[in-house]
Amino acid sequence: MSRSPGAPRRHRGAMIKTTGVPRTLRACPTGAAILLILASAATFCASAAALDPAGSPPEGEPSPASPGCFGGRFYLLFGQRDCTQTQRNATTPFGVDHASGVAVDRRTSADNRPAKVYVADRGNNRILGYDGIGYCRKSPSNGCNDPADCPLASDACVMDGTRMPALVFGQPDFTSGACNGDDNVGFGGAARPDTLCLTGQPYFTNNRAEDWTALNFDVDGEGNLWVPDIYNNRVVEYRRPFCTSGCEPGAGDTVADFELGQGDGARDDFASNGPNGGTWPQYFEDRVPPASVTGLDLATDGWANYVSAHGVSVDDFGSVWVADTSNHRVVRFPRGERAIDTSLRFPTEPWSRPLLARYDSRTQRLYVLNLVADQWAARIEVFSPTSFDSKGNPSFSGATRRALVPDQPFVPHVPSLDYMCTSQPFADWECGAVDWQGQYVMAATGFALNPYLGSSDPRFARYASGIVWINETMAAHRTTLLDPQGTILAVLGPRSVNETRAAAYFQCASDSPFQPFTPMGSPAFDPYDHILTADEENHRVASHELSAYAGSGCPPDPIGGLFPGTDANVSSNDERGSSALQAALAGYQPAIDMQVGETPGAGMAVYNGPDDDPREEQLIVLGNGGRVKVWNDYTHTPPGAPPTFVLEGVATGIFGQANLVTAGGSSNLLLWTNSEPPLAAYPLPLTESSSPVGLHLEWNDQTPIGPIRGGLAYDEGKARLYLADPYHNRILRVSNVSDFATPGQALTVDAVIGQSDTTNSSPNHGAATPQSDGLSMWVNNELKFDGQGNLFVVENDYEGHGNVRIVMLARADLDGVTTRCADSTTVLCALIPAAKAFVGALDEAGPGAFETVGEPGSPISVAFDRAGEMVVSNDGYYGDWSERPWRQIWIYRDPLRRDPDGRYTTGQKPDFSVAVPMGAPGEVTFDSHGLLLIQDHTWDRVLGIDLARDGSWLANASRRVRRHLAASSSGRAAVSARHRAPEPPRTIGSSVH
């Protein structure tokens, strides 16, 4: 975007310093081009407008672009098409984010040809509907699941993933994916008959990538679709969605016609969504109403929502069976009624979280999938009816039950995983379906009744005595058919019942883009005897021809499927996709991929060049796969605009925060890489043809130092580069920084801070807690200088690892390093005592975010404005989950505050939190205009807020959030701040959150 003629020339300024001559702040554009920007003091703005903490906007400024999203007036937004969305990559018709389940309308009537297929896309809060997942080669406008669906003779059914869905449920179009229409409010706002909330936005889902809950849904005998709308605590019915003629009232669209779980039992209530007929504020206040004959609680059990399932089914009598998981019961709603007539309770731990119930009128048995939540172990419980009514409906009053699990003859032993599989009290997905005692665990998320029970067709003789097909998701990665005694009759995925899919991966690998790895939810069967599975891990759906499968050995390749790409919302693993997919995608937003880093504080930098050139105004964001995305003239970029250009293949991996360094008269972007040399310097501004200069890192004696992949900070006054080394719990100093234009230049480490020699790596010098008499570090990931030359060190990782605090090293102490290392005559070592600590103390680690309120309990990144104020980003967790999204960005007005005795203040609390909803913030940084940009690590967007021009961002967060939610839900969803929700499970061995 070019600058208008006559625009004022801006002042020259530093590339990374937060001090210096302020630039003229350009006016925010109006209308759709208004952007999101974050700053924290009146001094940020060149006009020095006074902040109004009460929230009144500057006089005469334009109205918000999307006032329902954040509440402030001025904002920048990158990575999402608008402020209501937080999707990974870009939502289109040709990709999903967590393929969580699949259901098929098996009716053989003329109006169901081809059979309708429905796919649960939980990450995008939607269900996709297909009139056949393929197309006829000779007549591509006709959908199909089998060549028999095609009208022309000798035709083929092409199932290559390019079939466009016909319907979308829960969203207004194929490019939207928000919970209840706005992820910033999510289930805290009102539901509607045309919305779904399948993710816990914004309170519980601070990381959609790890939201691995299956969705078991169903199509009844009349073609009606039934879906458990998890976070709206209801089950919704869509009457014959594909109906085009002779439709009954309500049929033929994607608006829900009937609901269970809300209202008083006499009428539908599509707006309410609280558990057990209450409200979400009651949940946060520990006032959830008790279970009733009309209400459902599908969402408040944290463990059941993590890696498990939710389920609804409809039996042959039209009765709806709902796994009312958080109420620890299975309930039945008779056909057309809103009141429960049967309730089976599961009150006794550990088997207390039912996930799915299906009644089989052929065997007259009720099958219930039940979960041990904290072990991800499941079993099927079989109930025998005690009586039947005149129509054949079963009664289970006083019914007996028995457990059904696979009779697993052999568990593979993986010695390389013993360290994990023998120490964790659950079945890990890497442990080959065994628990910590070496016992087999069925980690299932769904099952289907066997349609071939009693079949006389010789093609399916091997399946005729089976009763249920089970998807074992977390550990075995397979689909199995069990008989009533638990004998495994067939296994799809591995070569035999004695292997898991993980063990057989290389032996059974194929070139098919649909080969299943992680079957999620329940398998489904179409009228042509194909079994369909949703692959949760790889975000796709596969169709197998059962008649061609021998029941053991490597399964045949799938005959086709949907979404051949294996990443969230990605249509194809080919970066550009097939030509057919590209044609189909025409008109849809290209994937932006704002997943900006794999390590804390990683992923963002801003370059403001000295010349009046929009190409020297660059927002630089690091993405997965070694990509660097660049937006030129970023302050004039409309929300959702794709990058100006992308540098591909920058490195095999990107680690550590992005840094802009001015040295030797040039500006450079420094990045850690997995290649050699390990440090790359990109001259700025970046262009589409930019290539880096490789830099070596070595000791004074020329001994090389490998990539340390921590944060980088440049001391412009002393021309020194500081490198965080979190793996050795130290900071390295480089003083021979000149110009990075020489390829292969060696950066020489001349000082170590935090250890007494060059080899020691012990956290806290071997002590259990930090030591106040000399800097002791643990997981020091980020470094930032304030305007006075003090170095701030963030000792933390996502989910609170290390010392979980921020410490300050004073300028004078940094300049006074003179002691030689114990093992070197050329390298200096200094145990500089920290001058001040935030969140924790000088001799105490921080508390972590799970219990902390009123401050950032798990800090990730810091940034400083020109006035010296400090902004801190938190890791996405918070002790009060009712305010979690709005308590992630914190402001310390005077981080160098001292007490009257002259000592630095201890236990200093922040002055404000910024009421902008966040998933899990990553790096925060100021540009030279005084605007603070925030990387949202898990909601895949970069935001910014200008508090100098709009003081309402600094209004009391609780009051502001309540006001916003009340406006979004007619006053019913104001959120209380008095309850801490149960701590969510932590992810083992991962720092990506």
807's tokens: 């410490």
Q: Mean pLDDT check: name the lowest of 59-68, 133-142, 225-234, 663-672.
A: 59-68
pLDDT above 90 coverage of the chain, percent: 48
User: Is the model's pLDDT at 426 over the cut of 70?
Assistant: no
- Integer-rounded Cα radius of gyration of the chain: 29
* For residue 34, pLDDT beyond 50: no
| Cβ(3)–Cβ(29) below 8 Å | no
Domain of residue 772: give its range: 604-946+957-968
Mean pLDDT, range 724-752, rounded to an integer: 88
pLDDT score recorded for residue 26: 28
User: What is residue 467's DSSP assignment?
Assistant: -
Q: What's the full length of the chain, in residues?
A: 993
> Which tens digits make up the pLDDT trace of 526-578?
999 999 999 888 889 999 998 877 666 677 788 999 998 877 887 776 643 44
**What is the model's pLDDT at position 624?**
67
Residue 96 lies in a domain: no
Report, as an integer, the average pLDDT of 624-634.
Answer: 83
pLDDT digits (tens, 9 = 90+) for 248-261: 999 999 999 999 99
Most trustworthy range by pLDDT among 564-568, 649-653, 947-951? 564-568
Q: What is the rounded CA–CA span in Å between residue 189 and residue 511?
A: 45
Min mean pLDDT across 76-80, 554-558, 885-889, 898-902 is at 554-558
The lowest-confidence range among 94-103, 333-342, 516-525, 549-558 is 549-558
- Alpha helix locations (H) across 311-450? 418-421
Count of domains in the chain?
1
Average pLDDT of the chain is 80
User: What's the pLDDT at 971?
Assistant: 33
Structure-model confidence comparison of residues 990 and 346, the more confident one: 346
Whether 53 shows a pLDDT value over 60: the answer reads: no
* Mean pLDDT value across residues 377-388: 92
Q: Rounded to whole angstroms, how far apart are CA atoms 871 and 869?
A: 7
Predicted local confidence at residue 307, as pLDDT? 67
User: What's the mean pLDDT in 198-213?
Assistant: 86
Burial of 579 (0-12, 13-18, 19+ CB in 10 A): exposed
**Does a structural domain hold residue 103?**
no
Question: If you average pLDDT over residues 202-216, what whole number do you get?
Answer: 86
Q: In whole angstroms, what is the distance from residue 318 CA to residue 16 CA?
A: 66
Higher pLDDT: 65 or 808? It is 808
Tokens of 459: 């093609």
State mean pLDDT over 828-853: 92
Query: What per-residue confidence (pLDDT) applies to 625?
Result: 66
Residue 323's pLDDT is what? Answer: 97
Tell me the pLDDT band of 959, cut-offs 50, 70 and 90: very low
What confidence tier does 37 reach under pLDDT thresholds 50, 70, 90?
very low
Place 342 in a pLDDT band, splitting at 50, 70 and 90: very high
> Residue 206: its pLDDT value, please?
81
pLDDT for 292-324, tens place per residue?
999 999 998 866 666 678 999 999 999 999 999
For residues 900-912, give the mean pLDDT.
Answer: 94
In the prediction, which pLDDT does 670 show?
87
Enter the pTM of the model.
Answer: 0.86
| Predicted local confidence at residue 524, as pLDDT | 98
Q: Which residue has the tokens 């200069």?
A: 693
| 3-class DSSP string for 476-530 | CCEEEEECCCCCEEEEECCCCCCCCCCCCCCCCCCCCCCCCCCEEEEEEECCCCE
348-368 pLDDT, tens digit per residue, is 878 889 999 999 999 999 999
Read off the CATH number of the domain in which 782 is found: 2.120.10.30
β-pair type (720-725, 791-795)? unpaired
pLDDT band of residue 435 (cuts 50, 70, 90) is: low
Tell me what pLDDT residue 584 has. 52
Contacts of 910 (CB under 8 A, 6+ apart): 854, 855, 856, 872, 890, 891, 892
Q: What is the pLDDT of residue 264?
A: 81
How many whole angstroms separate alpha carbon 471 and alpha carbon 447? 6
The arithmetic mean of pLDDT across residues 435-461, rounded, is 84
Q: For residue 374, what pLDDT is reported?
A: 65
Give the three-state DSSP class for 158: strand
Residue 746 belongs to a domain = yes
Q: Are 546 and 479 in contact (CB under 8 A)?
A: no
CA distances for 875 relative to 10, 433, 621, 794, 836, angstroms? 36, 32, 19, 12, 21
Percentage of the residues of the chain whose pLDDT score is greater than 70 = 77
Contact 168, 174 (CB under 8 A): yes
Query: Does residue 297 form part of some domain?
Result: no
Beta strands in 679-744 (DSSP E): 679-683, 693-699, 712-715, 720-725, 730-734
Distance (Å, rounded) from C-alpha 336 to C-alpha 320? Answer: 9
CB of 349 within 8 A of CB of 341?
Answer: no
- DSSP bridge partners of 144: 134
pLDDT of residue 40 exceeding 60, the answer is no
Q: Could you report the per-residue pLDDT of 588-611, keeping only the tens digit for each? A: 444 444 444 333 445 788 999 887
- Using an 8 Å Cβ cutoff, are 549 and 555 in contact? yes
Burial grade of 249 (CB within 10 A; 0-12, 13-18, 19 or more):
exposed
Which string of b and e fits 304-330 if b means at least 16 CB within 10 Å?
bbbbbbbbbbbbebbbbbbbbbbbbbb
Q: Which two tokens mark 674?
A: 């997995």
Residue pLDDT, tens place only, 95-130: 999 999 999 999 999 889 999 999 999 999 999 999
How many Cα atoms are found within 13 Å in the side-chain-facing hemisphere of 454?
Answer: 3
Contact by Cβ (8 Å): 480, 405: no
With tokens 């450079």, the residue in question is 668
Q: What is the pLDDT of residue 471?
A: 93
In a domain, 621, yes or no: yes
Does the structure show a pLDDT above 90 at 969?
Answer: no
Contact (CB, 8 A) for 230 and 213:
yes
Cross-sheet strand order for the sheet of 99-104: 99-104, 116-121, 126-131, 167-169
Query: Which of the pair, 662 or 793, is modelled with greater confidence?
Result: 793
Contacts of 659 (CB under 8 A, 6+ apart): 16, 605, 669, 670, 711, 712, 713, 714
Of the two residues 932 and 664, the one the predictor is more confident about is 932
Give exposure, 970-989, as e/b (b: 16+ Cβ within 10 Å). Answer: eebbbbbbebbbeebbeeee
Handedness of CA 182, 187, 190, 191 (dihedral sign): positive
How much is the pLDDT for 257? 97
Residue 73 is predicted with a pLDDT of 58
Q: Does a structural domain hold residue 613? A: yes
Q: Tell me the backbone φ, ψ of residue 42, rounded to 5 degrees.
A: -60, -30
Tell me whether residue 135 is in a domain. no
Burial class (CB in 10 A: 0-12, 13-18, 19+), 185: buried
807 domain residue, yes or no = yes
**What is the rounded CA–CA span in Å between residue 6 and residue 155?**
65
